Amino acid sequence: MSAAVGDEAWRRRQRARLRREWLMQGALLLVVLALVAGVAQNVAANLEARQIKSGFGFLRDPAGFNIGELLFDYSAGDSYLRAFAVGMANTLRVSMAGIVLASVLGVVVGLMRLSHHGLVAWLGSAWVEVFRNTPLLIQLLTIYLLATELLPDSSAPISIDAVALLSKQGLQVAVPAEGTMALGVAVVTGLLAAAAALAAARRWLPVGAGLIAAGAGLAGALVAWLAFGAVDGWSRPEVDGFLISGGASLTPEFLALWLGLSLFTSASIAELVRAGALAVPIGQWNAALALGLTRRKAIAGVIFPQALRLAIPPLASQYMNLIKNSSLAVVIGYPDLVSIGNTSINQNGQALEVIVIIMAVYLSLNLVVAVAMGAVNARVTRAPR
């Protein structure tokens, strides 16, 4: 602050105010430090009384428990660190699958609610109200119990043409026998298809070319993957006594969590889609229709791109909510980060360290989503108006 501002009395009052503010902050700092010191002392004393070790050294100890669902190799003899990595991978897997399905369902239901058709709009509203007004935990438990009680035993699964088997053991689908090769081929084809679609779509679409390219990329990858399987041979799931072997398997825990998270979040996303579309000024509709666009073209070319701008920031927070809600995995026994953490707290009592790890992981995941969605948002708001 420059000294030339105000008269002498004003400057005096200003100095007094600054002094007061510094004093208050000093006092606040002291209180916080005293609190932290007191807590640290209590924690140390309590840990000693309970003979619990402290520090992160335990991460190198063998975990000693098995995990039902693995994305990479792990056995009970491996370290806690590796167990946490498995848990984090499982959290990421179910969250990403959930984000995709919830977005698709949410957009469909949101558009249903905007429909002129009375019955379709009503169905959309019913979907939103049911999934938004019951706790996610109850939805998860219900889906999980339905899956594990009402589906047939694995010795007599529901079979869809020997391509997919659904039973108490989960969902097993046929996949190309050479899994890694097939994946490589699919990724390369998908990227090529996306690039081609992007180049083509840019020419005749002002916005949304990226979305179309992403769709084309996914479709291309899927076709290539299927074609590879058709040429090279499939690994089909087969009933083998009481077990099902072969193919790729999704456990009932994963399916229930994935479905529950997607249904619950789709209701909120549908509301965002609707709110975004309704927030576009009515003049935009009138202008688009006056230009002779059909209702469908007006939505695709005029309303949707503007609604997207409004919907992306709240969409980002819905994605974060989904990631956080995936922690409910612990109630149905899907081995995500929180349930692995819970198991290890019960084993070695090092709750403080485990909770710090879990929180740090969620905070960084949030940061990643925030940065990614921020980039998407910047891209969308930069699009030509």
Partner 1 sequence: MSSAGTSSAPRRSLWASARKRFFYSPVASLVTIAAAALLAWAGWQVLDWAVIRAVAEPDYAACKLPDRGACWGFVAEKWRLIIFGRYPYEEQWRPAVATAIVVAMLVVSALPAGWTRRGARALALGWIAALAAFFFLMRGGALGLAVVGSERWGGLPLTVILTLFAIAASAPIGVLLALGRRSQLPLLRSLATAYIELVRGVPLITVLFVATFVFPLVLPPGWRIDPFWRVAIGLVLFQAAYMAETVRGGLQTLPRGQLDAGRSLGLGYWQLQRAVVMPQALVAVIPAFVNNLLSTFMDTSLVTVVSMYDLTGSLRLALGDPRWRDFFIEGYLFIASMYFLASFAMSSYSQWLERRLNIDLGR
Pick the binder of partner 1 from 117, 295, 297, 379 (CB under 8 A): 117
The C-alpha atoms of residue 380 and residue 309 are separated, in whole angstroms, by 6
Contacts with partner 1, 4-23, as mask; x by CB under 8 A: -----------------x--
Among residues 376, 383, 381, which one has the least CA distance to residue 319? 376
Query: Could you tell me the smallest distance in angstroms from the CB atom of residue 10 to partner 1?
Result: 14
Query: Could you tell me the smallest distance in angstroms from the CB atom of residue 58 to partner 1?
Result: 15
- What letter does residue 72 receive in the DSSP assignment? S
Contacts with partner 1, 138-177, as mask; x by CB under 8 A: x--xx--xx--x----------------------------
Query: Could you tell me the smallest distance in angstroms from the CB atom of residue 137 to partner 1?
Result: 4
Q: Locate tokens 């002498």: which residue?
A: 8
For residues 269-298, which are near partner 1 according to CB under 8 A? none
| Residue 328 lies near partner 1 (rule: CB under 8 A) | yes
Helices (H), ranges, the chain? 8-50, 80-114, 118-132, 136-145, 179-204, 209-232, 252-279, 282-290, 295-298, 304-325, 329-332, 337-348, 351-382
Pick the binder of partner 1 from 119, 156, 231, 282 (CB under 8 A): 119
Among residues 269, 264, 276, 348, which one has the least CA distance to residue 309? 276
Tokens matching residue 58: 């335990």
Q: Is 54 helix (H, G, I), strand (E, B) or coil?
A: coil
Let me know how long the chain is.
385
Tokens matching residue 11: 């400057």
- Choose the binding region for partner 1 from 97-105, 243-251, 288-296, 356-364 (rule: CB under 8 A): 356-364
The C-alpha atoms of residue 230 and residue 177 are separated, in whole angstroms, by 10
Contacts with partner 1, 293-322, as mask; x by CB under 8 A: ---------------------------x--
The C-alpha atoms of residue 71 and residue 90 are separated, in whole angstroms, by 7
Query: Could you tell me the smallest distance in angstroms from the CB atom of residue 301 to partner 1?
Result: 21
Please give the size of the binding site for partner 1, defined by CB under 8 A. Answer: 52
Nearer to partner 1 among residue 43 and residue 291 (C-beta):
43
Contact between 205 and 216 under an 8 Å Cβ cutoff? The reply is no
| Residue 60 lies near partner 1 (rule: CB under 8 A) | no
| Residue 45 lies near partner 1 (rule: CB under 8 A) | yes
Nearer to partner 1 among residue 262 and residue 339 (C-beta):
339
Among residues 139, 236, 130, 223, which one has the least CA distance to residue 185? 223
Summarize as ranges the residues that interact with partner 1 (CB under 8 A): 21, 24-25, 28-29, 32, 39, 42-43, 45-47, 49, 116-120, 123, 129-130, 132-138, 141-142, 145-146, 149, 320, 324-325, 327-328, 330-331, 338, 341-342, 345, 351-352, 355, 358-359, 362-363, 366
